[in-house]
A = this chain, B = another copy of it.
Amino acid sequence: MNVITLSHGSGGETTHKLIKDIFYKHFENDILLQQNDSSILQKLDGKIAVTTDSFVIKPIFFPGGDIGKLSICGTINDLAVSGAKPMYITVGFIIEEGLDINILEKIVSSMAKTAKQANVKIIAGDTKVVEKGSVDRIFINTTGIGFVKDEELYLCANNIKKGDKIIISGTLGDHGMCIMSQRKGLDFDVDIKSDCNVLNRLVDDLLNISKEVKMMRDPTRGGLATTLNEIIEGSHKSIVLNEEDLPVKEEVMSMCEMLGLDPLYVANEGKVVVIVSREDAYKVLEAMKRNPLGKDSAIIGEVIDDNKNKVYLKTEIGGTRILNMYTEDLLPRIC
Which residues of A (37-88) have their CB < 8 Å from a CB of B?
Answer: 37-56, 78-79, 81-82, 84, 88
Closest B residue, CB atoms, query A97: B332
Residues in B neighbouring A51, C-beta threshold 8 A: 37-39, 90, 124
Q: Is A254 an interface residue (CB 8 A)?
A: no
Closest CB in chain B relative to A255 CB, distance in Å? 19
Question: Which residues of chain B come closer than 8 Å to A24, judged between CB atoms?
Answer: none
Interchain CA distance A14-B330 in the complex, whole Å: 12
Q: Which of B44, B141, B332 contacts A48 (CB 8 A)?
A: B44
User: Number of copies of this chain in the oligomer?
Assistant: 2
Q: Is the CB of B332 within 8 A of A9?
A: yes
Interface string of A80-102 (1 = CB under 8 A from B): 01101000101111100000000
Chain B nearest CB from A334 CB (Å) reads 9
A141 → B minimal CB distance (Å)? 4
A230-258 residues at the B interface, CB under 8 angstroms: 230
Which of A132-140, A275-283, A285-293, A298-306 faces chain B? A132-140
A295 interface residue, CB < 8 Å from B?
no
In the assembled complex, the CB of A243 is this many whole angstroms from the nearest CB of chain B, namely 21
Asked if A29 is at the interface of the complex by the 8 Å CB criterion, the answer is: no
Do the beta carbons of A39 and B50 come within 8 Å of each other? yes
Interface pairs (6), CB distance under 8 Å = A41-B47, A52-B90, A52-B141, A55-B128, A56-B130, A130-B333
- Beyond A14-B327, A36-B155, list 16 extra A-B contacts (CB 8 Å): A10-B326, A11-B221, A14-B329, A37-B82, A38-B81, A40-B48, A50-B145, A51-B90, A54-B93, A55-B128, A90-B143, A92-B92, A92-B141, A131-B332, A139-B139, A145-B145
The 5 A-B residue pairs with the shortest CB-CB distance, nearest first, are A11-B221, A12-B326, A38-B82, A141-B141, A143-B143
